[in-house]
Amino acid sequence: MNKYLAFDIGGTFLKYGVISEEMGVLETNKVKTPDSLEGLLTAMKEISHLYKDAKGVAVSSPGAVSEDGFIKGSCALRYLHGPNIKQLMEEQLNVPIFMENDAHCAGYAEFWKGNAKGKKDVLVMVLGTGIGGAVFKNGVLHKGANLHGGEFGYMLLNTAVQNSNDVWSRRASTKALVKEVARQKNIDMASLSGEQVFSMAEAGDKVCLEALDRFYHILAVGIYNLQYIYDPEIILIGGGISAREDLIDNINEKLDGIMEAVDLAKIKPTIASCHFRQDANLLGAVYGWLKERDGCIRRINTKLNN
């Protein structure tokens, strides 16, 4: 049974896991994300030494990941921008590496054996500190001319203010929800979590209930727009919040209200939670490696022979 080492580079943690070719999660762990590129490469090298039997290394990364290994766009880890990250990783680890955007990896996992399997036109959106996503046309990932296909969080929905910087990520991410509740309660945002906001709402906290009502509405507005821009078969929602059993019902309730208000709209978006949650990025990265196996191996062999 072939095994692969997968890394998921996050702003807070560097997750890693051993994944089988049959999509079995054999082992997972995490360490605090290093605060420098040198530290990241060293940590990955030390971890890879523990799994020398891995056939390859797959990496889920923030930012707009180019095929040649540069990370463009923007992300929380500024040190990833500039150098050829994939090349540096392959030089450090001396193994074939596949690297892709984290939301794209989550989408790959859904197409492998998740809720997008067997479908063709699918959008995947991942809610967290921002809103990322992936666009699939005829089952193929669409990255766009500038590698920003699926960056739904950049959408502007606020038409009341000209030249607003109030993008969708800053209005409908879980971070935005926490920030809004902390502002209204006049408390430090660092002392509050998304889980606490939901718990307080369930206990009847008025501020949290009202913030969640707005949160679901703004999510629904963006999803409605995406439906009529692309007309996918389904829109899958990932991220930690997707584990909530009431998420889809609450968004659907807001979508029903929008559909009633917009007399031209006849197609209600079909939404569902992603099947894979905490391991989605690791699994999807390995799926990408398998899809591009020959190219990964050929590239590393060329380097070794030069």
Fold observed for domain 115-273: Nucleotidyltransferase; domain 5 (3.30.420)
Handedness of CA 171, 173, 177, 179 (dihedral sign): negative
pLDDT, tens only, 244-282: 999 999 999 999 999 999 999 999 999 999 998 888 999
pLDDT at 278: 80
Dihedral angle computed from the Cα positions of residues 285, 291, 295 and 297, in that order, rounded to the nearest 10 degrees: 70
Please state, rounded to an integer, the average pLDDT across all residues of the chain: 91
pLDDT at 163: 76
Looking at the chain, the number of H-run helices and the number of E-run strands are 10, 12
pLDDT at 22: 86
Q: Which of 128, 234, 115, 106 is nearest to 178 (CA)?
A: 128
Indicate whether 89 pLDDT > 90: yes
pTM of the model: 0.86
pLDDT at 243: 86
Fold observed for domain 3-101+279-305: Nucleotidyltransferase; domain 5 (3.30.420)
Task: Please report, as a single letter, which amino acid is at residue 33.
Answer: T
pLDDT, tens only, 97-125: 999 999 999 999 999 999 999 999 999 99
Structure tokens, 29: 């762990």
DSSP label of 65: E
Indicate whether 21 pLDDT > 90: no
pLDDT, tens only, 221-236: 999 999 999 999 999 9
pLDDT, tens only, 142-187: 999 998 999 999 999 877 777 788 899 999 999 899 999 999 999 9
Cross-strand partners of 188: none
In percent, the amount of the chain with pLDDT more than 90 equals 73
**Calpha distance 218→163 (Å, rounded):** 19
Delimit the CATH 3.30.420.40 region(s) of the chain.
3-101+279-305, 115-273
